[in-house]
Structures are given as structure tokens and as C-alpha cells.
Structure 1
Amino acid sequence: MAVAKRVSDEPAFVLHSYDWSESSLILEVFCRQQGRTALVAKGAKKPSSNFRPVLLPLQPLLVTYTLTGDGHADIHTLKGAEWVGGHVMPTGDALLSGMYLNELLLRLLARADPHPALFDAYAGVVRVLASEHGDALEAVLRSFELLLLREIGLLPGLDVQTMTFDPLESNARYTLVPEGGLRAASAADRAGLTGSQWQALQRGLDDVASYTATLRACAPVATELKPQLRALLQYHCGSPTLRTRQLMIDLQAL
């Protein structure tokens, strides 16, 4: 009799969950070594289930699961989940921001495609979201968006003009657009950055400690980066508008 293969004590975060039956859930989780993975948590909705207080988004977990069949099936079976601890659940704008990042990962990451460096950056972002450092929220989000786009090959080099490979002039302004990459800003492009600012972002991405280096580079330009990165992300996510993004827009309109 074949023994089911098992993945044990894998660092993970729950990105999303939905009902599978009256008592069970399907989970989309982001694992450090296994990438985005779908798991069935049998009996997780029962009041007596040990899973109920643990399987929450934006909480660091260690999960154990068995691989279905030859390991290439879409959904595997969750056997254990342990809360690692370290911080509480984010609230308010930080919670919405965390759900926005989760939706980006669900839309843009393929299953079973590991991104350990991106996982570590995500864990760092979640720690900030759960802290009282609200003033760092915009820079943290922009840095993760850049790291995500670069990790999955959707971010052009930020130290040259994309279409011509011409070097950037330090004091000239450039803008990042979905179909053209980095190009000289027009008079109407209010969100452009100088060549030296784009080059600083590229150095941050190339740094060994890319998360902290990119975060430092994003801090002074987070406001200008926001519309450019949001347009690029929406372009690659396709229609419709990100649900969390639409929720933020609706709340701001109240």
C-alpha cells in the first residue's frame, strides 16, 4: 500500500478560504517552499474543530498536509496547522491593505510555483501591518508591489528607458506605464519620478536585502508611485477591478 507523501511544518499564510461542504473549507495558502497551494480543511467549520481559531488570514502558520495522488493534484488535505504567534490581527486600513495584498497573490501567482524571497517579504509586510506604524503603510505597500512584479517577471528594469534602453538622466522625469514600461514623462504625467529616483528603486530591488532596501527607496516617492503601480498591477490582473480595491474606493465615497 502506497504511503501518502507529507509536507510537514511548512511556513504559510492563509490567503483566502471558501466553503467546501457543510463542515469543511477549501483554503488558498501561500507557503514558503511550496508556493501557492490549495488545501481542504476537513471539519474546519465544526465548533469543536482545532482549526477554527487558527485558519485566519494575515497570521503566520506552520501547516502539515498530505499530497493527493502523485502530488500534482489541485487540492491536498490539511492535517495540521499551528499558529506561530508574534503579532495580532491587523485592523482598519491595515487589514484592508493586507486583504489587498492577498488578492494580488491569488491573481498573479501560479500554484506550486515557490517564491521564498517573496514569502519572506510578505511576512515582513504583515508584521508592519499588525504594528502601530501606520505612517509606513504606503511605503510598505509600494515596496511589496515592486517586489511582487519583479519576482514574477512583470517589472521592467528601472534604470533604463524600456523601449530604447537609453540611460536615464538624473533630473529628467519618467513614468511607468502598463504597455510601454518606463518612458519619458509627458507634461500631463504628474506622477513621474526623476531618473535618480527610479535608479534608487532599482538599486533597492537588486540589493541582497531587497525588502528593506526597496522600502527605504520607496519611502520618499510612495505617493507618486501609487497610481503607476496600481495601473500596472490592474493591467496584469485583468478585469474586473480588484475586489479589495473597489471596496476601498466605495468606503472613501461614503
Structure 2
Amino acid sequence: MTTEAGDRAWVLHRYPYGDTSLVVELFTQTQGRLGVLAKGARRTRSPLARVEAGRPLWVRWLGRGELPVLAQAEELGPALPLDALQNLSLFYINELLLRLTQRGDPFPALFAVYEETVSVLRDEPGEGWYLRRFERRLLENLGWAADLERCAECGRSLDPTLSEQWSCQAARGVLCPAHAPDAAMVTLEAAALGWLRGAMQTRNARAWGSSLRRCLEQELQFHLGGRPLESRRLLAAYLRRIRPTSTIWRGEHSK
């Protein structure tokens, strides 16, 4: 793979390579995930030293194969300071992309959602609706999103204006009230599912936060093969530590 024009990108992960270099996993606008070798990036005065998560970049790389060489990384804006909760949210969406996408698969629409998510997590710390939107859009782009239009059992259409409880089940979809859920299912209001299948441009009702999180978590875990996410483990530990003195995240992120 060779490019001269370059591409917008965000850093998902990086790790040492040799004595002075880094392997960097990028999420790019037109190429999707891309692994590059940043030679000499661990040197203090290297122009690539500031290639890090949370900073929008314009990158150019040279070479073909699994690990082309990062030739240029220009900052497109400052990396605003993030607190512990914001950093954990960023770690979470980055880990999802690393675990569920393949290198070389372009997702330009998801790239735009990623940028919106980073912007909102900076501006609205303590809210979780934007993570639910990212999770749903990720599943949609991968072609794995559950059908939220009708009951998987009888085909009845979901009406979000009705005050009733529906159930969701990973890899199957949603079930109407006529089909009693088993212990493995998550129940949530029809209106919450209506929000989830819509534009999701504004925060959802706070009462839906926990059920929406559990529904999407169940769906994601199915596609993750049951392997836990390190970011979720760290997030749960952080929330247990701060819960006695803080009300942030309002139940949307609590385990």
C-alpha cells in the first residue's frame, strides 16, 4: 500500500518497536484501520513523537504490506486535556475498533461517527448516550446490528409511541411483550428502541441508560466471542472507586 496524498487519521493504539520506534494502529478516513511503523518516534525530538490517541492527524505513509512506514503526521488540532473518565471512554471506543474491525476495510461513515464521539466525550463528560450511538453505528457498519423494526418471533412492528416493554437478545433481535423473555434477555421500553434505531443525535432519557447499555453490551459480547474488554474492566474498577463521592455517568456506564 502506497499513498502520497495522505489521509485524516486518529491513533487507536501504539506500542514500542525496537529501541526507538513505534508500531501505531490508525483509524483513517478512507482506508479504515491501518498499522504503520513510526521510525524513531520514541526519540524526544522526533516529529512523530506526538502521535498519540485523542489527537486528530493528517498522515502520509510509504510502502506496502502489513506495516508501511509512517512518513508524516501533521496535527490538525490540539489534543484537549481529558480526565480519567474521558480517557477511559476513548480507550473503550478504540478497543472496540481494534477488536471488531480488520485492517484495510474502509468505513468512512463510521469515521465521521468516531470524530463526533470524540468531540462529545470532551464536551459532555458524565454522559453516556454518545457511546450507545457509537456502539450501534459500529454494529450497523459491520452489518451485525440487530433488527429493531419488528419482533423476531412473530414479526409484529415495534411502535415507540406505545408504553410497553420489549426484550432484546444477542444475535436474534427484539421480541414483543407477547413473548416472555428468558433470564438471558434484557428488557427495555419501546421508546428506547425507537431512539436506538433513529438518528441518536441527542441524549436519550436517563431512565433508559442502563437497559440500553446492557442490550448493546450483550450484542457486542456475542461478536467479541465472549472475550472481555480491558477498557470495560478498568471502567468498572474506576466507577467502583468514585461512586461514593460522585454521581457522574448517571447509571449509563455502571456495571
TM range (shorter): 0.7 to 0.9
1:82 to 74, 77, 94: 74
1:194 to 172, 177, 189: 189
Q: Rate the CA distance shift 1:19–1:93 in 2: closer, same or farther, 3 A.
A: same
Note if contact 1:17-1:27 (Cα within 8 Å) is conserved in structure 2.
yes
Note if contact 2:146-2:172 (Cα within 8 Å) is conserved in structure 1.
no
Q: How do 1:101-140 residues align onto structure 2 when only pairs under 5 Å count? A: 101-131=93-123, 133-135=124-126, 137-140=127-130
Match of 2:202 in 1: 216
2:16 to 14, 19, 35: 19
How large is the RMSD of aligned CA atoms in angstroms?
Answer: 2.2
1:56 to 41, 45, 52: 52
1:149 aligns with 2:156: no
Match of 2:244 in 1: none
Q: Distance in 1 between matches of 2:193 and 2:98?
A: 28
Note if contact 1:19-1:25 (Cα within 8 Å) is conserved in structure 2.
yes
Q: Which amino acid aligns with 1:228?
A: C
Deviation at 1:191, TM superposition (A): 5.0
Q: Which amino acid aligns with 1:61?
A: L
Local SS of the residue matching 1:215: coil
Local SS of the residue matching 1:75: coil
Match of 1:210 in 2: none
Deviation at 1:90, TM superposition (A): 2.1
- For structure 1, the 5+ residue unaligned runs are 205-212
Select the structure that is richer in helix: 1
Comparing 231-240 with 41-50, greater Cα deviation is found at 231-240
Deviation at 1:237, TM superposition (A): 1.2
1:236 to 223, 228, 234: 223
Identity %: 30
Q: Distance in 2 between matches of 1:243 and 1:95?
A: 13
Q: Rate the CA distance shift 1:175–1:84 in 2: closer, same or farther, 3 A.
A: same
Deviation at 1:99, TM superposition (A): 0.4
Q: Distance in 2 between matches of 1:111 and 1:75?
A: 10
Q: Distance in 2 between matches of 1:79 and 1:223?
A: 44
Local SS of the residue matching 2:61: strand
Local SS of the residue matching 2:220: helix
Deviation at 1:159, TM superposition (A): 1.4
Q: Rate the CA distance shift 1:130–1:216 in 2: closer, same or farther, 3 A.
A: closer
1:167 to 152, 157, 161: 157
Note if contact 1:200-1:217 (Cα within 8 Å) is conserved in structure 2.
no
Q: Distance in 2 between matches of 1:46 and 1:217?
A: 43
Q: Distance in 2 between matches of 1:142 and 1:83?
A: 28
Note if contact 2:11-2:52 (Cα within 8 Å) is conserved in structure 1.
yes
Deviation at 1:167, TM superposition (A): 1.5
Listed one character per residue, the Cα deviations across residues 61-112 of structure 1 (whole Å, up to 9, x for unaligned) are 10011131xxxx2111100001111551422211101100000000011111
Deviation at 1:178, TM superposition (A): 1.2
Local SS of the residue matching 1:47: coil
Note if contact 2:169-2:185 (Cα within 8 Å) is conserved in structure 1.
no
Deviation at 1:60, TM superposition (A): 0.7
Q: Distance in 2 between matches of 1:162 and 1:89?
A: 45
1:65 aligns with 2:51: no
Q: Distance in 2 between matches of 1:76 and 1:17?
A: 14
Deviation at 1:174, TM superposition (A): 1.2
1:8 aligns with 2:5: yes
Q: Distance in 2 between matches of 1:128 and 1:200?
A: 18
Count of residue pairs brought into register by the alignment:
235
